[in-house]
């Protein structure tokens, strides 16, 4: 079989065998509707409760604080829409977030501005992608309804000091949400100790299925219901539950928690080997992000004098799968808003590749990828229309 090397674990992850096995019965044998009050319905309801406990445990929450959704995007929408809809009557319609959030946050801000008259502020970040707590403090006004700052960035992997940031929001009486889609399973999370009021998660980043996620809502916070319909998820998020998906998410969360130390150690060691090898073998490349405090699998590299997209396509021809930015925006051709926010000029931001390694990445995969990348970079630089200043030659 042809060798295929997947180095895009931040885009999505393969479902683990144990997760798949746990899900399988819920497609056929255990097909009941969890709202039905006879046996095969109740069995499904119980399976959802078990999954809820497992997901809650992963972030140090109580199970009644977890609501299943269709994924990270929906959870992010719920946090922002819920907060401004709840607090609008108190004159609060302002959202504070950062310049490096996922589009699930940015596009929700833009939507709420256009259709619901909200305002938003994007906090700047430094060259490593870190938010300065003083900037947050200065941005909060008496109209601020919610602060939303991602726990870990999906492109450069930078991990924020969430406790310092949530403390500032709370000192001013403002709700604090974090998008932890990339962080769960990769960073130890305790929502209570970190002062988090709302948190977004997604199953497919932790070896679970796509199309299922969860929203943590601290008990006592009364957001308006997000999706109207039947009484599922205590009426907050109606719609017949994706039972197989939820069970898969529960299993993936259980495995992620059990293996978190091993996962962090092994994945960061593979990433370090890969990164060090590229830095040794290829001149004029740079690592983006906060190398002292980033996601274990993340390696975001700027290859001077090469267009990232060309590199990606040549790697694709060699069966090496990576991305130039987040999977959701990589087809846009525009420079990454995350790298631009870190102060990287547009032409350099376009010369960047995000590699992310994961549990199934082998040393052999990495050696194959390193060998091919060295050759591709040489080939592309030989024909590059960029000069040494990264400007087009005329
Ligand atoms: N937030 C971040 C940081 C992400 O990386 C992603 C997906 O890549 C999402 C939100 C969206 O999650 P989902 O794909 O589950 O909708």
pLDDT digits (tens, 9 = 90+) for 209-225: 999 999 999 999 999 99
Residue 389, domain member (yes or no): no
The sheet with strand 144-148 has its strands ordered as 66-69, 213-217, 198-202, 175-179, 144-148, 94-98, 119-123
Residue 377, domain member (yes or no): yes
Q: Judging by DSSP bridges, how do beta strands 320-321 and 5-6 pair with one another?
A: parallel
Are both 171 and 67 inside the same structural domain?
A: yes
* Nearest alpha carbon, ligand 1 atom 10: 72
What is the distance in A from the centroid of ligand 1 to the CA of 190? 20
Residue 160, domain member (yes or no): yes
Of 66, 39, 44, nearest to 241 by C-alpha is: 44
* Nearest alpha carbon, ligand 1 atom 13: 72
Are both 250 and 274 inside the same structural domain?
A: no
What is the distance in A from the centroid of ligand 1 to the CA of 88? 27
Are both 224 and 188 inside the same structural domain?
A: yes
Catalytic residue among 81, 109, 299, 328: 328
At 189 the pLDDT is 98
Are both 186 and 295 inside the same structural domain?
A: no
Q: Is any ligand 1 atom within 6 A of the Cβ of residue 213?
A: yes
Are both 58 and 154 inside the same structural domain?
A: yes
Nearest atom of ligand 1 to the alpha carbon of 211: 15
Do 268 and 63 touch, CB atoms closer than 8 A?
A: no
Q: Where are the alpha helices (DSSP H) in 24-131?
A: 39-58, 72-87, 103-116
User: pLDDT averaged over consecutive 10-residue blocks of the chain (394 residues)?
Assistant: 92 98 96 94 96 98 98 98 96 98 98 97 98 98 98 98 98 98 98 98 98 98 95 96 98 98 98 98 97 98 94 97 71 85 95 97 98 97 72 48
Q: Is any ligand 1 atom within 6 A of the Cβ of residue 325?
A: no
Tokens of 87: 């607090």
At 394 the pLDDT is 39
Are both 206 and 268 inside the same structural domain?
A: no
* Nearest alpha carbon, ligand 1 atom 8: 11
What is the distance in A from the centroid of ligand 1 to the CA of 214? 12
What is the distance in A from the centroid of ligand 1 to the CA of 239? 21
Cα end-to-end span (Å), the chain: 45
φ, ψ for residue 38, nearest 5 deg: -100, 175
Q: Is any ligand 1 atom within 6 A of the Cβ of residue 150?
A: yes
Are both 47 and 158 inside the same structural domain?
A: yes
Residue 388, domain member (yes or no): no
Residue 393, domain member (yes or no): no
Q: Is any ligand 1 atom within 6 A of the Cβ of residue 98?
A: no
Are both 374 and 293 inside the same structural domain?
A: yes
What is the distance in A from the centroid of ligand 1 to the CA of 11? 8
Three-state secondary-structure class, residue 352: strand
Q: Is any ligand 1 atom within 6 A of the Cβ of residue 102?
A: yes
Are both 22 and 96 inside the same structural domain?
A: yes
CATH of the domain at 361: 3.90.1150.10
Are both 185 and 305 inside the same structural domain?
A: no
Q: Which of 256, 279, 311 is the last residue of a domain?
A: 256
Are both 276 and 213 inside the same structural domain?
A: no
Q: Is any ligand 1 atom within 6 A of the Cβ of residue 104?
A: yes
The reply to whether 328 belongs to the active site is yes
Are both 274 and 234 inside the same structural domain?
A: no
Q: Is any ligand 1 atom within 6 A of the Cβ of residue 157?
A: no
Q: Is any ligand 1 atom within 6 A of the Cβ of residue 295?
A: no
Range of the domain at 141: 17-256
Whole-number Cα distances in Å, 306 to 277, 287, 288, 383, 392: 19, 15, 16, 9, 11
Residue 390, domain member (yes or no): no
Give the position of tokens 């830095």: 279
* Nearest alpha carbon, ligand 1 atom 5: 154
What is the distance in A from the centroid of ligand 1 to the CA of 73? 6
Q: Is any ligand 1 atom within 6 A of the Cβ of residue 289?
A: no
* pTM reported for the whole predicted model: 0.96
Q: Which of 223, 256, 289 is the last residue of a domain?
A: 256
CATH of the domain at 79: 3.40.640.10
What is the distance in A from the centroid of ligand 1 to the CA of 385? 35
Q: Which of 256, 273, 297 is the last residue of a domain?
A: 256
Number of domains in the chain: 2
Residue 191, domain member (yes or no): yes
Residue 141, domain member (yes or no): yes
At 387 the pLDDT is 58
Nearest atom of ligand 1 to the alpha carbon of 328: 8
Tokens of 302: 């700027």
């Amino acid at each position: 079989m042809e060798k295929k090397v997947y180095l895009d674990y931040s885009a999505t992850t393969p479902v683990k065998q144990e997760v798949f096995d746990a899900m399988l019965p819920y497609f056929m044998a255990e097909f009941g509707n969890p709202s039905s009050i006879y046996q095969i319905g109740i069995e499904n309801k119980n399976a959802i409760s078990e999954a809820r406990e497992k997901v809650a445990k992963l972030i140090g929450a109580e199970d009644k604080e977890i609501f299943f959704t269709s994924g990270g995007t929906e959870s992010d929408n719920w946090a922002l829409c819920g907060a401004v809809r709840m607090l609008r009557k108190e004159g609060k319609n302002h959202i504070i977030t950062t310049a490096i959030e996922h589009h699930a946050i940015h596009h929700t801000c833009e939507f709420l501005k256009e259709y619901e008259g909200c305002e938003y502020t994007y906090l700047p970040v430094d060259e490593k992608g870190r938010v300065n707590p003083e900037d947050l403090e200065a941005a909060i006004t008496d109209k601020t309804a919610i602060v939303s700052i991602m726990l870990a960035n999906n492109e450069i992997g930078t991990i924020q000091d969430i406790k310092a940031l949530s403390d500032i929001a709370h000192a001013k009486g403002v709700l604090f949400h974090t998008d932890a889609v990339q962080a769960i399973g990769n960073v130890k999370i305790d929502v209570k100790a970190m002062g988090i009021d709302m948190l977004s998660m997604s199953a497919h980043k932790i070896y679970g299925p796509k199309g299922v996620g969860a929203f943590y809502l601290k008990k006592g916070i009364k957001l308006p219901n997000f999706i109207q319909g039947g009484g599922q998820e205590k009426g907050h998020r109606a719609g017949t539950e994706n039972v197989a998906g939820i069970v898969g998410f529960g299993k993936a969360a259980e495995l992620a928690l059990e293996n978190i130390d091993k996962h962090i150690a092994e994945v960061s060691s593979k990433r370090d080997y890969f990164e060090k090898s590229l830095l040794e073998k290829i001149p004029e490349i740079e690592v983006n992000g906060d190398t002292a405090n980033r996601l274990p699998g993340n390696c975001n590299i700027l290859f001077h004098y090469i267009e990232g997209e060309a590199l990606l396509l040549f790697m694709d021809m060699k069966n090496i799968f990576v991305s130039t930015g987040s999977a959701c925006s990589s087809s846009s051709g525009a420079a990454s808003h995350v790298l631009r926010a870190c102060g990287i000029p547009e032409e350099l931001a376009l010369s960047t590749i995000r590699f992310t390694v994961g549990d199934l990445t082998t040393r052999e995969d990495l050696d194959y990828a390193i060998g091919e990348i060295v050759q591709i970079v040489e080939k592309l630089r030989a024909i590059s229309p960029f000069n040494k200043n990264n400007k087009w030659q005329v």
